[in-house]
Structure 1
Amino acid sequence: MSIDKVVGSAAEAVADIPDGASLAVGGFGLAGIPWFLIEALLEQGAGELEIVSNNCGVDGAGLGLLLEAGRIRKVIASYIGENKEFGRQFLAGEVTVELTPQGTLAERMRSGGSGIGAFFTPTGVGTLVAEGGLPWRYNPDGTVAEASPPKEVRNFGGTDMVLEESIVTDYALVRAAVADKAGNCRFHAAARNFNPPAAMAGRTTVVEAEKVVEVGELGPDDIHLPGIFVKRIVELTPEQAARKSIEQRTTRKRNS
């Protein structure tokens, strides 16, 4: 019996995501983000969401749409990025933000998907990451309402390391260049940075794929994410697959 995880639409794929759900979302900046799953979730209406992602989109695009609609209560990310509304909500005390070193964030998701509860890393030792006190949420008057707690530090082989807890989320939304019907995925270039660990972290992982092929068409060495991690697949149209944006474009005049 063949496996076919393809669903009819992005709306169908995110229909059961409830208020208060946690979601790992792939992409780096705007590269490799699941554009259409995010927009379907915006239309679906779920709120009070906890988002785990490298960043939170930009103003007017990606996860920034959910943020602007007031649908996100907490973000675990590595930077605020170029999203002015994200920065405004954080400083105004409207959203909780747990800033995490970028490599640590990726490993927290990968480890969560691998069944590892926590791990030690030297990243952050000697800083507020390990010692605690990073602002997570502000009061409207600018004082700190919630700060990060101190973390355990131990020495391994002469190097101090800080204990980081792994991340497992209710759902994951990711974008693949190619997926077969069983959910085996291949990612393109920078989209491979955060999509595989985000996909691993989700208990229910949904993939929007630019191209869907039959099982067996992807060679074993071409698979970046095994289908065991994937629950649902949305096949994009060629027009949807071609829609890609970047945060900024800076050009200069050529010398004649």
Structure 2
Amino acid sequence: MTDNDASKIISLAELTARVPDGSSIALGGSFLHRGPFAFVRELIRQGRKSLDIIKQSPGYDIDILCRAGAVARTRAGIVAMEGNFGLAPFYRRAVERQQIVLEEHACASLTAGLRASAFGVPFQPCGGLHGSALPELNGWKALDDPYGTEGSTYVIPRITPDFAVIHVNEVSEQGDVRVFGTSHWDRIMTRAAGRVLVIAERVVSVDAFRAQPELTLVPHFMVEAIAVVPGGAWPGSCWPHYEVDYAAVEAYLEDADGVLQAHLDAAPEVREPAHA
């Protein structure tokens, strides 16, 4: 077996151990849908601290990390547990108590920063920010249109996460990645980050990827390592495998002693340990 053919599959614990304290991490998915939640919980189990979380629409992931005291900074757009549950309470508490530093974005401005990194330029234009307080809060600059057809446009500094971590439907052992349904912002995250780690529902053959290359979201040469964790997006959804476990989310949101540990103990990666 050549290096190119070698499997990149390792355990969830080994994959998570590659992320040191203080890392900046772009987390895939959106709200309660196809987030790398098994990875997030393993960060907590391993006692990770001082993390910088980057995501356009986080919710459960940033909330549970703030609840565990693992976050020092976040760069995020809208943050919520979705319509059923409203705002993310433990994240909100961390911001209000100034336990974390918040760089507030619109989803589009965060995407612009990631695109700048992916495209190898120092900044990226972003429309729709005039009239908002975000440019002043973040010190974003505006440039005049050099072609003279418009006014000024704000430009967002590049955002280069140390890691992009995404949860996907299928991988090959070499590291090719498939997502069914919307990919949210996973594509641009993986192009912007220094290193890419993947959690997957299942492994399929390299031949299956070769037969339909147009379905590959991230090619194997961009992926450092994979952990296979069926159900790893719990309590969120991973279409078409499973829906949101609303009862589990509601139980997690209870603000009482022992709730966080009970939630961690109920996760699929504990009940059915991930395999390498």
TM-score of the superposed pair, with normalisation by structure 2? 0.75
From the superposition, tell whether residues 168 and 231 of structure 1 become closer, same or farther in structure 2 (CA, over 3 Å). same
Q: CA deviation at 1:236?
A: 2.2
Q: Does the 8 Å CA contact 1:118/1:165 hold for their aligned counterparts?
A: yes
From the superposition, tell whether residues 56 and 67 of structure 1 become closer, same or farther in structure 2 (CA, over 3 Å). farther
Q: Does the 8 Å CA contact 1:173/1:205 hold for their aligned counterparts?
A: yes
Q: Does the 8 Å CA contact 1:29/1:57 hold for their aligned counterparts?
A: yes
Q: CA deviation at 1:175?
A: 0.7
What do residues 187-238 of structure 1 show as CA deviations (whole Å, max 9, x unaligned)? 1223x0122222222212110011222323112211122223211111124x
Q: Point out 4+ residue stretches in structure 1 off by more than 6 angstroms.
A: none
- SS of the residue corresponding to residue 189 of structure 1 reads coil
What do residues 141-200 of structure 1 show as CA deviations (whole Å, max 9, x unaligned)? xxxxxxx2242332253242111112111112111111222222121223x012222222
Matched, 1:149 2:139: yes
Letter in 2 for 1:69: A
Q: CA deviation at 1:247?
A: 8.5
Matched, 1:98 2:97: no
What residue number does 2:162 align with? 170
Cα distance in 2 between the residues matched to 1:162 and 1:236: 41
Letter in 1 for 2:186: N
User: Mind listing any 5+ residue stretches in structure 1 that lack a counterpart?
Assistant: 135-147, 250-256
- SS of the residue corresponding to residue 198 of structure 1 reads helix
What residue number does 2:223 align with? 230
From the superposition, tell whether residues 159 and 6 of structure 1 become closer, same or farther in structure 2 (CA, over 3 Å). same
Matched, 1:180 2:172: yes
Matched, 1:199 2:204: no
What residue number does 1:67 align with? 66
Q: How many residues align?
A: 229
- SS of the residue corresponding to residue 153 of structure 1 reads strand
Q: Does the 8 Å CA contact 2:142/2:152 hold for their aligned counterparts?
A: no
Matched, 1:31 2:63: no
Q: CA deviation at 1:243?
A: 6.0
**Identical pairs, percent:** 21
Letter in 2 for 1:68: R
The two structures, once aligned, show a CA RMSD in angstroms of: 2.3
From the superposition, tell whether residues 234 and 110 of structure 1 become closer, same or farther in structure 2 (CA, over 3 Å). farther
User: Mind listing any 5+ residue stretches in structure 2 that lack a counterpart?
Assistant: 81-86, 238-243, 248-276
Q: Does the 8 Å CA contact 1:154/1:160 hold for their aligned counterparts?
A: yes
Q: CA deviation at 1:241?
A: 6.9
What do residues 86-144 of structure 1 show as CA deviations (whole Å, max 9, x unaligned)? 112112211111111112222322332332321112231342223x0x3xxxxxxxxxx
Q: Does the 8 Å CA contact 2:76/2:105 hold for their aligned counterparts?
A: yes
TM-score of the superposed pair, with normalisation by structure 1? 0.80
Say which structure is richer in strand.
1
Q: Does the 8 Å CA contact 2:10/2:225 hold for their aligned counterparts?
A: no
From the superposition, tell whether residues 43 and 248 of structure 1 become closer, same or farther in structure 2 (CA, over 3 Å). closer
